[in-house]
A and B are shown apart, each in its own frame.
Chain A
Amino acid sequence: EVQLVESGGGLVQPGRSLRLSCTASGFTFGDYAMSWVRQAPGKGLEWVGFIRSKAYGGTTEYAASVKGRFTISRDDSKSIAYLQMNSLKTEDTAVYYCTTCGGDCYSFVYFQHWGQGTLVTVSS
Chain B
Amino acid sequence: SYELTQPPSVSVSPGQTARITCSGDALPKQYAYWYQQKPGQAPVLVIYKDSERPSGIPERFSGSSSGTTVTLTISGVQAEDEADYYCQSADSSGTYMEHVVFGGGTKLTVL
> What is the number of residues of chain A that contact chain B, defined by CB distance less than 8 Å?
25
Instruction: Answer whether residue A27 sits at the interface, using C-beta atoms and an 8 A cutoff.
Output: no
Mark each residue of chain A from 96 to 112: 1 if its CB lies under 8 Å from any CB of chain B, else 0.
01000011011111111
Chain B neighbourhood of A64, CB < 8 A: 1
Q: Is the CB of A109 within 8 A of B44?
A: no
Instruction: Answer whether residue B10 sits at the interface, using C-beta atoms and an 8 A cutoff.
Output: no
Given contacts A108-B31, A110-B33, contact A117 B100 (CB under 8 A): no
Chain A neighbourhood of B102, CB < 8 A: 44-47
Instruction: Answer whether residue B88 sits at the interface, using C-beta atoms and an 8 A cutoff.
Output: yes
**Complex: A109 Cα to B88 Cα, angstroms:** 9
Residue of A nearest to B102 (CB): A45
Residue of B nearest to A64 (CB): B1
Chain A neighbourhood of B86, CB < 8 A: 44-45
Q: Which of A37, A108, A110, A115 has the most CB of B within 10 A?
A: A110
Chain A neighbourhood of B90, CB < 8 A: 108-109
**Complex: A108 Cα to B44 Cα, angstroms:** 18
**Complex: A89 Cα to B99 Cα, angstroms:** 22
> What is the number of residues of chain B that contact chain A, defined by CB distance less than 8 Å?
27
Q: Is the CB of A45 within 8 A of B105?
A: yes
Q: Is the CB of A107 within 8 A of B96?
A: yes
Given contacts A61-B99, A105-B97, A111-B88, contact A97 B49 (CB under 8 A): no
**Shortest distance between the CB of B80 and any CB in chain A (Å):** 19
List 18 other contacts, CB 8 Å, given A106-B97, A107-B97, A108-B90.
A35-B100, A44-B86, A44-B102, A45-B102, A45-B105, A47-B88, A47-B99, A61-B99, A63-B99, A106-B96, A108-B31, A108-B49, A109-B97, A110-B45, A111-B35, A111-B88, A112-B45, A117-B42
Q: Which B residues are within 8 Å of any A CB, using their own CB?
A: 1, 30-31, 33, 35, 37, 42-45, 48-49, 54, 84, 86, 88, 90, 96-105
